[in-house]
Structure 1
C-alpha cells in the first residue's frame, strides 16, 4: 500500500466500511460490531488507525482529499546591504558610548527595527552579529552582553591611526572596490495609468556585470573603470573575480593612472590577499616542513611527528607577504587594508549606490551594449564634488570611531569580570592573516 492514501482510495475504504456496517445492522451477516474495523483492515491492508481516521473524515465531509505533506518551513532570507550592516555596528556602539546601556540582543533588535526597519528576528540578528565579528561575554551580574572581537577592534584602531598618518603626510589616497550590476536593474515603482503602463520590472535577473573602479583626490580615476560580463553566473559575484584578473586590472588600469606615490585602500577579499609566502599546512610533506624549519634556523626534535612539526611552524609563522602589496611597492605605492566588514570606511561604496540609482531610472528596455554604455555614462556623471562629499562623510565616520573607541573601552571595563583563562578568546585569531582566512568575501 502507498504511504499516502489518495482521495479515491480513501473513498473506497470508507464505502467498504459503510457496506459492512449496513449488513451488520440489517442482520444479514453475523458480523460483530467491534470486528468491522478489523475486517476492513484485512480486506484493504491498511492500518487500523488509518481506517478509523478515514471513517471520521467521512462523517464530516462527503468529499475526500489527499493529505498534503507537511513541508518544512523555509527561513526568510534577510537581505541587508553593506550600509545596513554598518548601521548595526554603529547602533550597538551607540548603546555603550551614548546610552550607557548594555546592548542585549532584545534591546538591540528593538532599536534596529525602529532605526533601519530591520525585519528579522532575534536569531537572524544573532547570526549577523557573529558575521560582523561580535561574540558573547559575561558581565558582572551574569547577564550576556555583546562584544566585538578584540582582533577586529585592534585592526580598526590600527587602520584609523594608519590612515590618519597618511593624510598628515600629504600622500594621496585612492579607494578601490568591486561590485556588480544586473541588466534587469530598474525601479520597483513608477507613474502609470491604464493608457500608459510605464516601465516593466523584469522577472529574470538578466546578465550580471562585474564593475571595478577607484577614486582619488580629484574624483573617480579616469580610464580605471572595468566592466565585464559574469558569464558563469556564480552565486557570489566575488567568485567571478580572481587574483589574475585583479592583478591585470591593477597593472593596466590603476597604476598607469597614478601620477605619484599613492596609498591604495582596499578590503580583504581573497583575490586581494594572495600570499607569496603561503604558510605550510598538513597537506605538505614532512620533508618540506623540516626543510622550511631548517632554512629559517628553527630547531626541532629529530624524532618529531608531523603534527609536532606543524605546532612549531605555527609558533614561528612569519607575517604574510601579499602578492599585490609586493607588486604596487615596486611602483612606489603602498596598500592599507580596511578592517573586516567596515564598508562604511570606503567612500566608493556610496558611489555604487548613486550609480545604481541612476541606472535604475534610465534602464527601460535597453539591450546589453546600450546598458553597458549607460553604466559608463553614469560613472562619468559623478563629479569631483560628489566624490569629495563621499570622502568627507567617510572622514566623519572615522572620527566617530576614534571618539567612541575609548568610551566603549571604558564602558566595557565596567561590565566585564575577569574570569581567568577564557577558552572562547583563546581560539580567536590575532593577526591580519588569520582573520583574512576566515573572511570569504567582503
Structure 2
C-alpha cells in the first residue's frame, strides 16, 4: 500500500481506520457480492443517450411526479436540554392529520399552468397505493396535455398507475377462464379441452405490439407528444424532484429573512452522474456576526460557519 497508494501510516493505524469506517477482518464469503443488474444498467444507458439527444433539440421536456405531505408532519425525536427543569423540545401533535397527495408537472420554465392536482387521501400505506390509473389518466388528458407545448417530451417513472395496458395479455397466474376470454376477444378460436400451458402458448403466438403498449404512451402519441420512462431505481433523473426541494428552500428563505438570511442553497452530490439533493443546507447571511442557531420549521438548528477552500 505504501508503494501503490503512497499510504504514509503504519499497519496498526490502518487497522483502526478500517474498523472505524465499518470493516472487520474475517473470512470471505464468496457468495455475497454487490452487482448491479444488467437490465438496469442497460436501461440507464438507453435513457441517458435518449435524453442527451432530446435535450439538444428544441423540444420541451416535461417532468411529472407525485409526492405527499401530512398536515401535522413532525418528528418524534430532537435534541433537548437535559439540564432544564421544564419540558422542552418539539411539541408533537396528537395525530398526523390529513394526508395530501400532490401530482404536478414542470418544465425548465416552471410548473405547467393549471396542471396541479391536490387531493386528500387515506392515512394508511404508501402514498403510491392511494393513486390509481383512472385518476392519473384523467389528470393526464384533462390537465396536462392541453397545457404543454406541441411535440413535448414527457418524462415519468414506471409506477403501476403510469403503466396500464389497454389489452394486457394474461399470464400464468391467471385462471383458464380469463385466458380464454382474452383469446376470444381477439377473435381466436379456442379448442375445447386445452390445458393451461397450451392456452398460454396460444397467447404467446398472438401477442402484438398493441397489447404491450401503455395507455398513457398511446394517449401522448395521439396528441403529438412522446413519453420517455425513467430507468428502474433512478428517481434522481426526474428533475421535478429537485423542484420540490427548491420549493422547500424558497419557503425556508422567507422564514429566515428576519435572521439576515439572503440565500438558501441545498448541498448536492453526484449519484450515477446525476446531482441529488442532500439534507445539508448552505445559508448566506447579510451580516458578519452569525446567529448561534436558526429556527427551521419547528426545530432550532445550530449554525456553523463554512469557509470554502480557495481554488488554485
Give the TM-score of the pair, scaled to structure 2: 0.61
* 1:242-268 superposed Cα distances (whole Å, 9 cap, x missing partner): 111112221232112212211000011
Q: Which runs of 5+ in 2 are unaligned?
A: 1-16, 23-28, 256-263, 276-312
Give the TM-score of the pair, scaled to structure 1: 0.45
Greater Cα radius of gyration, structure 1 or 2: 1
In the alignment, is residue 259 of structure 1 matched against residue 149 of structure 2?
Answer: yes
Residue equivalent to 1:330: 222
What pairs up with 1:22-421 in 2 under 5 angstroms? 142=30, 144-186=32-74, 200-230=91-121, 232-281=122-171, 282-285=174-177, 287-288=180-181, 291=184, 295=188, 304-314=194-204, 317-319=207-209, 320-356=212-248, 399=273
Following superposition, the deviation at residue 358 of structure 1 comes to 6.4
Q: Is the CA contact 1:160–1:398 (under 8 Å) kept in the aligned structure 2? A: no
> Normalized per residue, which structure has more strand?
2
Q: Is the CA contact 2:170–2:182 (under 8 Å) kept in the aligned structure 1? A: yes
CA RMSD for the aligned pairs? Answer: 4.2
The whole-number CA distance in structure 2 between the counterparts of 1:362 and 1:199 is: 22
Q: Is the CA contact 2:100–2:119 (under 8 Å) kept in the aligned structure 1? A: yes
Q: Is the CA contact 2:78–2:89 (under 8 Å) kept in the aligned structure 1? A: no
The whole-number CA distance in structure 1 between the counterparts of 2:135 and 2:159 is: 13
* 1:186-238 superposed Cα distances (whole Å, 9 cap, x missing partner): 577699999997863324211110011111021222332221111x3231111
Distance change >3 Å, CA 287–CA 345, structure 1 → 2: closer
Query: Residue 59 of structure 2 aligns to a residue in which SS?
Result: coil
> Normalized per residue, which structure has more helix?
1
Size of the aligned set, in residue pairs, is 235
Q: Is the CA contact 1:345–1:398 (under 8 Å) kept in the aligned structure 2? A: no
Distance change >3 Å, CA 145–CA 332, structure 1 → 2: same
Distance change >3 Å, CA 318–CA 152, structure 1 → 2: farther
